[in-house]
Amino acid sequence: MQISIDNQSFNRIFCIGKNYSEHVKELGGTELPEEPVVFMKPVSSIVAPGETLYRPRHGNLLHHEVEVVLLIGREGRDIPQTNALSYITGVTLGLDLTLRDVQGRLRKAGLPWELSKSFEQSAPLGLFKAYDPDSIDLENLSFTCSVNGELRQEGNTQDMIFPIKSLIHTLSGWWTLKPGDIIFTGTPSGVGPLEAGDRVEIDSPVVGPFSWTLAS
């Protein structure tokens, strides 16, 4: 069963940065994080599959970052890892679109990332599939991102620095998780630029494919 974006009431979008070691390395990092790197996007930044994407006017280098995305189904605080997955009601894929040139400038100045990560249309999101642990193995889920038919990113959740159970446990210690909360769980290596007219497609064995085209 798929959960429609149009009919779903979303609450907050939590995003995890630097959750795959090879992605940390490709961006020039030398140390892995000791705890999850968290930032947020507005719910208004969600873009449904098939909609046209438009390049933000305040940046030039727009990068794709494919991620496994979770939908929280019930309220929880200080959730133990042992039953963290029971709080998930839906699973899909999404894109954490990033203005890499803007992000680099903000990092250099020690400023927050919002202008590079939380702009309009920065969260293309697939349709959620109802989570069933018997058919969806969140500890070994492969997923891909292709641009114009060329494979750009290939990841698996087993390579996460902070696995999904750990993310839910940690986030619920910092915030009370509530129904409708969304968690982007981090991107693997292979991020790269999107140019005008590009078609980006994300896929996995259990959910997808979903695609978007960047306006010419």
CA angle centred on 74, ends 187 and 90, rounded to 5°: 45
Q: Give the H/E segment covering residue 117.
A: helix 114-117
Please name the residues in contact with 156: beta carbons below 8 A apart, sequence gap of 6 or more.
140, 141, 142, 143, 188
Q: How many CB atoms lie within 10 A of CB 192?
A: 16
pLDDT number for residue 26: 84
Instruction: Enter the pTM of the model.
Output: 0.95
Q: Which of 187, 182, 76, 71 is nearest to 136 (CA)?
A: 71
What mean pLDDT comes out for the span 149-162? 98
Task: Find where tokens 């630097």 sit.
Answer: 18
Range from 23-32, 171-180, 202-211 carrying the lowest mean pLDDT = 23-32
User: What is the tens place of the pLDDT at every residue in 40-57?
Assistant: 999 999 999 999 999 999
| pLDDT of residue 2 exceeding 70 | no
User: What is the tens place of the pLDDT at every residue in 131-149?
Assistant: 999 999 999 999 999 999 9
C-alpha 30/C-alpha 38 separation (Å) is 19
Specify the CATH number for the domain of residue 190. 3.90.850.10
pLDDT number for residue 9: 83
User: What is the tens place of the pLDDT at every residue in 93-114?
Assistant: 999 999 998 888 988 898 888 9
Percent of the chain with pLDDT over 90: 84
Task: Tell me the β-bridge partners of 129.
Answer: 2, 91
What mean pLDDT comes out for the span 25-40? 89
User: What is the tens place of the pLDDT at every residue in 57-76?
Assistant: 999 999 999 999 999 999 99
Range of the domain at 126: 2-214
User: What is the tens place of the pLDDT at every residue in 160-201?
Assistant: 999 999 999 999 999 999 999 999 999 999 999 999 999 999
What is the four-CA torsion angle of 173, 33, 181, 81, rounded to 10 degrees? -50
> In total, how many domains does the chain have?
1
The token pair that represents 175 in the structure block: 């915030």
Residue 53 φ then ψ, to 5°: -95, 145
| pLDDT of residue 4 exceeding 60 | no
| pLDDT of residue 11 exceeding 80 | yes
C-alpha 197/C-alpha 187 separation (Å) is 23
- Residue 183 near residue 171, CB atoms below 8 Å: yes
